[in-house]
Amino acid sequence: MGKVYLVGAGPGDIDLITIKALKCIEKADVILYDRLINKELLNYAKENVQLIYCGKRPGFHIMTQEKINQLLIKYAKQGKDVIRLKGGDPFIFGRGGEEAAALVDNGVSFEIVPGITSGIAVPAYAGIPVTNRGISSSFAMITCHHQPGEQDPLDWKSLAKGIDTLAIYMGISNLPYICKQLISFGRSPDTPVAIIHWGTTTKQHTITGTLSLIVELARKSNIENPSMIIVGEVVRFREKLQWFNESQLNGALVQKAST
**Which residues, 6+ apart, have CB-to-CB distance to 241 below 8 Å?**
127, 128, 129
Question: 23, 56, 180, 203: which one is catalytic?
Answer: 56
Q: Using CA atoms, how far apart are residues 6 and 122, in angstroms rounded to an integer?
A: 22
The residue among 197, 16, 15 whose CA lies nearest residue 114 is 16
Question: 34, 80, 89, 141: which one is catalytic?
Answer: 34
170 in active site:
yes
User: For 50, phi and psi rounded to 5 degrees?
Assistant: -100, 120
**Which residues, 6+ apart, have CB-to-CB distance to 98 below 8 Å?**
65, 69
What 3-state class would DSSP assign to 220?
helix
63 in active site:
no
228 in active site:
no
Question: 80, 89, 141, 170: which one is catalytic?
Answer: 170
State the CB neighbour count (10 A cutoff) for residue 116: 22
Catalytic residues: 34, 56, 170
